Structure 1
Amino acid sequence: MEVPKFLIILLLAATIASSEARLSSLRQGSSLKVEEESDFLVSPNGTFSSGFYKVDTNASCYSIWFTNSVNKTVVWMANRDKPVSRRVSKLTLHRNGNLVLTDGVGSIVWSTNTFPDAGVEAQLLETGNLVLINQEKMIIWQSFDSPTDTLLPSQRLVKNTTLVSVRSQGTYLSGFYNFRFYDNNVLYLIYSGPLFSSVYFPKQDKTVFDFKRTPYNSSKVAILDEAGQFISSDDFMFNASDYGIGPKRRLTMDYDGILRLYSLDESTGLWEMSWLPDGVDACLVHGLCGAYGICTYKPQPTCSCPYGFSLNDSSDGSKGCSPLFNLSNDATKSDFMVLPNTDYYGYDMETYASGISFRACRNACLTDSRCKGFGYALDGKGQCFLSKDEVITKLETYDLNCSAAQVSLKTGDLEVEKSNKNRYMVYLVGFVSSFAIIEAICIGLTWWYAFRKHAHEEFVNMGDIALAMGFKRFTYAELKRATNGFKQEVGKGGFGTVYKGVLDERVVAVKRLDGILQGDAEFWAEVSVIGNINHRNLVKLWGFCADNKHKLLVYEYLENGSLDKILFTSDGELGLEQRYNIALGTAKGLSYLHEECLEWVLHCDVKPQNILLDDHLEPKVADFGMSKLFKDIHGIRDIDGMGFSKVWGTRGYMAPEWMMNLKIDAKADVYSYGIVLLELLSGKSASILISALAKEYIECNQLARCVTEKIRKEGLEEVIDPRLLPESDNKKLERLMKVGLLCAQDDRSARPAMSKVVELLLEKDE
């Protein structure tokens, strides 16, 4: 029977499409693009796939995953701590043999740093190893040499490689738990927090020999084989419960600090645990419940707080607890809270003592200004452990391991299971203020004052957490002193007045916000988003103040001020190259806000007054994120998480869709940027320029149309700032004008994205 020709053609087309979606290799000069969801590499038998993996609404990481597992279990990521935009980003194997990952604006995020001869191609092997192979079929780079949180069969763990957990369940940022060889040639599970590191497996109350390990083999190599057996040079060995050739397996350092071996049930795509370390219960993992948290079994490990403390994040116990009162070192007022069968591991002072009484241990803590609490073991040995002052004063960055009743102390075997007498207590000297408040109430303080005190101290703790996130919470009194009573005004706008000040020995710009209706907690939450945005072309937020009605922001100070103060003055000296760099830097900053932030931000008020210049005339966009802070007073609504619905911005720079009551998106910022670009070229403000042109062209009521008409009839030089013409770089002038007119079009669908604007500005002249 003859097959119809049209059917053959359809089958052939389907085969070609399939082969394009399942690339076997990436050759020099080729790219994998983030927008093409079917654009990825596949291992020979299809076990593994490699491509862009979505980690957030608008962010991706280049990854390797098990093709047939539920939710595509990721085993490796190139850029898990620097996700790229889901627009324009790509992985390219350059002709020089370097495999490079670039973001939406063309910046290099990750690369293999390989520069071999021609004939290189990238392949994903059936083992899950992404490799670069040269013409001699030699591997010149492989992903197996830089694991993330997973070890695959045949992948070696050596002295320079580490398995690092993810930060939390559902995220892919690097966490604090490691599996690696330590300096003594032994494999350990290690908690590596921001300020301290500690081993929690094997337990440190015994020698490595007690665990049948050896520190004498310095080769430092371990491997998981195809049958599910793990063998290490330090004699650490284990087998999968389903030992034997067949199942697909992975050894993963999980987010909760426990190393687990998994086997894949290919019929369901689900993973089954086939091994975990003996003696590592969840509550024994250091840092699991964060600062001051207590881990208990209910029956699953659960994080809670001591009385008088509250969870920093009710959905994530690892962020720890915070006191709702002041902690004091005043020995005359101190008292203690008893926490039976609990150990805050990792912060003992050097003053360990044994054979002393409970009272002597307590007094030792009271008389040492560094001590904030103590542990005492009721095992007959009189062991006393004093806790460091830093545990309290830097609680926002310390993660204390909090253990359940069956945990042992660092020295001696005190496990509850062995004896009902083996119980110990940790006493925190932190409840000075709580008793002080009680005393104060007894002598006449009102309940109203107590409530105010409680609320204030709770927010002080929020400020401490903000400091750990990279910016700081200041009091109103601090900012008033820093600005000398808000005397030196350096700017004023729709959001408030800006003052110059000196804070922590650096010059700052302090913005007093007018009309904020948000409460302190909501304001802090919104500010935290802005404070975590960091780009060279965005003004950096250093801190904030939220003292009831006083809402202020603290920014880096830029001596040259805003663009309008230089551009629109007769003595302003901005050459073509400087204006071009300002245009490019501003575009990069807006592109970052629109496409690269993990939480997209619309500026909604792009204008020269909000473009600040540093000492080198490098532009930095200011006032981004204000729409989040002022949405209550201005009545702005967020529609489907995509934009705003009511008027916002400055006349002359506002896109037509604002006036038409249409939904606002990033293209509104593009329009405003286009107006700024036309101002850069003309040297005149938008209002003055359109007023002058409207006298010549009566039909002209929109700046881009006015400028276009002027250029069409009289030439480009009639629009350009006369101060630029002597430089006579017509190609650069034409490119800037082209981009400006393109951005300032009435039809928003015709405006380019800011990432495209960056590309257009960076195009080479032919």
Structure 2
Amino acid sequence: MSAIASTIFYLLFTSFICGRAQTEIKPGSSLSPTTSPTSWPSPSGQFAFGFYRQGTGFAVGIWLLGKKNNTVVWTANRDDDLFSPNAKLQLTTDGRLLVQTEEGEEIAIATTTTSSTSASMLDTGNFVLYSRNSRVIWQSFNYSTDTILVGQQLSSGQQLVSASSMTNHSSGRFRLIMQNDGNLVLYPVNSASLSSDAYWSSNYLGYNYDYLLLNKTGNLFLVDSTGKKADNILYTAKSPFKNNTIYRATLDSDGIFRLYAHSEGGSNSILWSALNDTCKVKDICGFNSYCTSIDHKLPTCHCLPGCDFIDQNDSTLGCRRNFSESECRNGKENAVSYHMFAMESISWGGGNIPFVQKQMPKEECSSTCLEDCNCAAAIYQSGICSKHEFPLKYVSWDMLDNSTAAFLKVGNLSLNYSNGAFETEHPPSNLTTSNESIVKIVYVILGFSLFLCSVIAVVSHLIYKMRVLRYKRLLDIGDLGLNYEDVALRTFSYKELSRATNQFREELGKGSFGAVYKGTLYRGRRVVAVKRLEKLVEEGEREFQAEMRAIGRTHHKNLVHLLGYCSEGSNRLLVYEYMSNGSLSKLLFGDVRHPYWEERVRIALDIARGILYLHEECETPIIHCDIKPQNILMDEFWTAKISDFGLAKLLMPDQTRTFTGIRGTRGYLAPEWQKNTPISVKTDVYSYGIVLLEILCCRRNLELDVLEPDQVLLSCWVYNCFVAGELHKLVLGEDVDKKVLENMVKVALWCIQDEPALRPTMKSVVFMLEGVTEVAIPPFPTDDY
């Protein structure tokens, strides 16, 4: 029997035995974070699946039980919010594995195309869902986080991502990738995965190995498609362990990939490490800092001269300059403001591309960097001077390496710079500013002091006058009643958002009040969408206030989440979560494949639940006023979320209707907009009805390029098909549930009734779509038929 056949037989046999031994977890079973049962154990009791405590909340995952501490080996939705003690994990009666939050929100733990009929926690550490014929339809082994267990594969293109820390299992800063070229490589998460970013690899480039495997004897190796193992096994067990020893290979939070063995007594030992020195891990200390260690243990991060830690409580987040940059004139620095700090044994490798690389004497390398406005540091090696900008990454210190010299530009007026550890270990070397230069500087200062003071006074006055004019313009508009203290959002500076969007370079879309740009925050860890309002008149200010008031205190899984805002001078910007899969309009009417029937049904329910939240569950009811496919965005999991609250109309607690000017988009406007009558939440119901028809048929409400004249107006064609009992014409060639299709068509036709009183509420719409409420036969939607 070949090696791959043996491996497959072992996996199937293990899953079969463990699956039969496990007490079946049946639909309707549930777990609680605080009251028993809190988990479902494996047959041997070595593994468990359920809630575990993380910080102040609870996460759902799998852990290996120990006498003192449990070891988490898998976490579901690891980057989502933690759950409260009142959450409930359940295998529902319709076969879904989900968590129901205290607020009633349902969060999927496993997504399957087929309903499960049972589940099991296996002794391999794998949690599985079964279909009616006992076929595995979902398993945690297919969704690795930071660990692989015995029998689990890390296939080509897959990766492990480290945890943030030993106690926080959200995604961390390092990743292990099984590359398509057969090489297993470690990179920092925020890197381009180039060879210059790698800090460890298996060196099997070009061997076309397909996956990494950990077998039951503790051997860790790469395997190709034929089952052939790599000549150099990453780890081979030197002495046999007992049969009940459990092995795991984990990418730890410090960026090192390690193999562990857990004995029956609960103790664990490290069998193998990809690296023995944590300081060899690139980006372990962040930008503008470097790592030192004693005997390859207890790594310590240090800031480069002229920098301080971004967070004194977490030195791994890197450092930033502790001095202000002076004015640059004619491409040269003001030498009075800086000096060059010379260091040995310090270098920075790939990932820092020099903007100048030239052969010159060592002394000239330092002085030319001091005078260059763009130069923050220089490296001198083998007669070559390389000048770099900040920030510097992958900085390393090697006391045995004296082949390079580093020069760093430091401000003479540092802002409380103190780095005791650095001063002790590396005393300052000679400064390039000599005594003679200092004397000349004093004369220059005395000669031009009066002139400089005059220039500063004039410039300051002009800046003040400009700022007064800009703010006066905004004050004339007024704040329209918005109390910023009531909006729990983060405030951003304009400079911060400009840097996050790379000076507003990548445009995602454009609306009537401005454009939306793609950006990144938190050192590239969070992708966001930044809406920049461009009409700085009353109309644009009202748009900004409407967005803030409508979304600031709303939070629902089917609403785009507003993360923060910028209100600086005349700049008005809003920061939203990034929706990676674009708009529903692109999905329904684009050239790519249309969503499957089940996806369309789910999307229709997502939108209905979002509108229901706006109408009935917010502290202040909100009329969106512009429900259309372009304003429905899809996240990375294809969840539909409502966006663009710029036209939203807020109602007072005792209001049900309000007067306002015509808003929204033609084709989705309710008839009452044209009649100058008060609008209500029923205007959104009408728009939703049109959108629902477009979702069902994957076409726009108005299309001129159709086969038959009666098909031009979608709502008219749908009603005619409904009366004639020919709804199949709407979804030709698709395998759909006819009963569900008829039910949804009737709901849509009720929603687009001409009289608002005849339209259902969004709560009724949700109930009808979910099948809770029967749907009556609708009358003609309008008088135009």
Query: What TM-score comes out, normalization by structure 1 length?
Result: 0.55
Question: What SS does the aligned partner of 2:25 have?
Answer: strand
Structure 2 Cα separation of the partners of residues 285 and 29 of structure 1: 46
8 Å contact 2:565–2:575 — kept in the other structure? no
Alpha-carbon spacing, 1:400–1:241, altered in 2? closer, same or farther (3 Å): farther
Q: Does 1:376 align with 2:365?
A: no
Alpha-carbon spacing, 1:191–1:555, altered in 2? closer, same or farther (3 Å): closer
Structure 2 Cα separation of the partners of residues 482 and 199 of structure 1: 48
- Residue 80 of structure 2 is aligned with which of 74, 79, 82? 82
Give the residue type in structure 1 aligned to 2:654.
Answer: E
Give the residue type in structure 1 aligned to 2:292.
Answer: T
Listed as ranges, the matches of 1:337-348 within 5 Å are 337-348=341-352
Bigger relative CO (Cα 8 Å, ≥ 6 apart): 1
Q: Does 1:429 align with 2:426?
A: no
1:326 paired residue number: 324
1:65 paired residue number: 63
Structure 1 Cα separation of the partners of residues 486 and 469 of structure 2: 14
- Residue 543 of structure 1 is aligned with which of 562, 566, 579? 566
2:396 paired residue number: 403
Give the residue type in structure 2 aligned to 1:297.
Answer: S
Give the residue type in structure 2 aligned to 1:131.
Answer: V
Alpha-carbon spacing, 1:305–1:230, altered in 2? closer, same or farther (3 Å): same
8 Å contact 1:44–1:126 — kept in the other structure? yes
Query: What TM-score comes out, normalization by structure 2 length?
Result: 0.53
Question: What SS does the aligned partner of 1:216 have?
Answer: coil
Alpha-carbon spacing, 1:218–1:316, altered in 2? closer, same or farther (3 Å): same
Q: Deviations over 1:486-507 (max 9, x none)?
A: 3211423666899xx9995546
Superposed displacement of residue 220, structure 1: 2.0
Structure 2 Cα separation of the partners of residues 200 and 352 of structure 1: 21
Worse overlay, 120-129 or 480-489: 480-489
Superposed displacement of residue 320, structure 1: 1.0
- Residue 206 of structure 2 is aligned with which of 216, 219, 234? 216
Worse overlay, 291-300 or 145-154: 291-300
Superposed displacement of residue 95, structure 1: 5.9
Question: What SS does the aligned partner of 1:237 have?
Answer: coil
Q: Does 1:153 align with 2:150?
A: yes
8 Å contact 1:66–1:75 — kept in the other structure? yes
Question: What SS does the aligned partner of 1:223 have?
Answer: strand
1:231 paired residue number: 221
Listed as ranges, the matches of 1:515-526 within 5 Å are none
Listed as ranges, the matches of 1:82-481 within 5 Å are 82-86=80-84, 89-93=87-91, 97-101=95-99, 103-105=101-103, 107=105, 109-116=107-114, 120-193=117-190, 213-233=203-223, 234=230, 235-239=232-236, 243-246=240-243, 247-267=245-265, 269-278=266-275, 280-297=276-293, 300-327=298-325, 330-331=332-333, 333=335, 335-349=339-353, 356-359=360-363, 361-362=365-366, 365=369, 370-377=374-381, 381-387=382-388, 389=389, 391-392=390-391, 400-406=393-399, 416=401, 422-429=402-409, 431=411, 443=445, 481=470
Q: Deviations over 1:197-230 (max 9, x none)?
A: 6666665xxxx8xx7x432332321212222221
Structure 2 Cα separation of the partners of residues 171 and 115 of structure 1: 31
Structure 1 Cα separation of the partners of residues 609 and 97 of structure 2: 31
8 Å contact 1:250–1:263 — kept in the other structure? yes
8 Å contact 1:60–1:83 — kept in the other structure? no
Question: What SS does the aligned partner of 2:70 have?
Answer: coil
2:738 paired residue number: none
Superposed displacement of residue 119, structure 1: 6.5
Structure 1 Cα separation of the partners of residues 442 and 105 of structure 2: 59
8 Å contact 2:74–2:146 — kept in the other structure? yes
Alpha-carbon spacing, 1:275–1:131, altered in 2? closer, same or farther (3 Å): same
Superposed displacement of residue 286, structure 1: 1.0
Superposed displacement of residue 586, structure 1: 7.0
Structure 1 Cα separation of the partners of residues 195 and 468 of structure 2: 39
Question: What SS does the aligned partner of 1:484 have?
Answer: helix
8 Å contact 1:84–1:104 — kept in the other structure? no
Structure 2 Cα separation of the partners of residues 158 and 479 of structure 1: 61
Question: What SS does the aligned partner of 1:160 have?
Answer: coil
Give the unaligned 5+ runs of structure 1: 1-21, 393-398, 407-414, 417-421, 447-474, 513-529, 559-577, 590-605, 619-675, 685-725, 737-757
Structure 2 Cα separation of the partners of residues 187 and 483 of structure 1: 60
Structure 1 Cα separation of the partners of residues 83 and 767 of structure 2: 15
1:707 paired residue number: none
Alpha-carbon spacing, 1:350–1:541, altered in 2? closer, same or farther (3 Å): closer
8 Å contact 2:119–2:128 — kept in the other structure? yes
Structure 2 Cα separation of the partners of residues 488 and 497 of structure 1: 21
8 Å contact 1:539–1:556 — kept in the other structure? yes
Q: Deviations over 1:504-526 (max 9, x none)?
A: 554676999xxxxxxxxxxxxxx
1:488 paired residue number: 477
Superposed displacement of residue 99, structure 1: 3.6
Alpha-carbon spacing, 1:297–1:586, altered in 2? closer, same or farther (3 Å): farther
Structure 2 Cα separation of the partners of residues 51 and 338 of structure 1: 55
8 Å contact 1:93–1:99 — kept in the other structure? yes
Structure 2 Cα separation of the partners of residues 442 and 510 of structure 1: 53
Structure 2 Cα separation of the partners of residues 735 and 199 of structure 1: 58
Superposed displacement of residue 302, structure 1: 0.9
Structure 2 Cα separation of the partners of residues 532 and 120 of structure 1: 36
Structure 1 Cα separation of the partners of residues 97 and 762 of structure 2: 35
Alpha-carbon spacing, 1:262–1:734, altered in 2? closer, same or farther (3 Å): closer
Structure 2 Cα separation of the partners of residues 326 and 612 of structure 1: 46
Structure 2 Cα separation of the partners of residues 382 and 237 of structure 1: 40
Question: What SS does the aligned partner of 1:144 have?
Answer: helix
Q: Does 1:679 align with 2:672?
A: no
8 Å contact 1:336–1:428 — kept in the other structure? yes
Structure 1 Cα separation of the partners of residues 442 and 126 of structure 2: 66
8 Å contact 2:615–2:622 — kept in the other structure? no
Question: What SS does the aligned partner of 2:51 have?
Answer: strand
Structure 2 Cα separation of the partners of residues 486 and 761 of structure 1: 48
Q: Does 1:55 align with 2:30?
A: no
Alpha-carbon spacing, 1:173–1:476, altered in 2? closer, same or farther (3 Å): farther
Q: Does 1:584 align with 2:585?
A: no
Structure 2 Cα separation of the partners of residues 504 and 734 of structure 1: 34
Superposed displacement of residue 272, structure 1: 2.9
Question: What SS does the aligned partner of 2:287 have?
Answer: coil
User: What count of residue pairs does the alignment treat as equivalent?
Assistant: 506
Structure 2 Cα separation of the partners of residues 64 and 476 of structure 1: 62
8 Å contact 1:491–1:497 — kept in the other structure? no
8 Å contact 1:29–1:95 — kept in the other structure? yes
Superposed displacement of residue 165, structure 1: 0.3
Q: Deviations over 1:540-574 (max 9, x none)?
A: 522366xxxx9x9966499xxxxxxxxxxxxxxxx
Q: Deviations over 1:697-731 (max 9, x none)?
A: xxxxxxxxxxxxxxxxxxxxxxxxxxxxx855799
8 Å contact 1:69–1:264 — kept in the other structure? no
Superposed displacement of residue 164, structure 1: 0.6
Give the residue type in structure 2 aligned to 1:426.
Answer: A
Structure 2 Cα separation of the partners of residues 532 and 313 of structure 1: 31
Structure 2 Cα separation of the partners of residues 497 and 98 of structure 1: 38
1:625 paired residue number: none
Superposed displacement of residue 75, structure 1: 0.3
Superposed displacement of residue 293, structure 1: 1.7
Worse overlay, 39-48 or 501-510: 501-510
8 Å contact 1:191–1:286 — kept in the other structure? yes
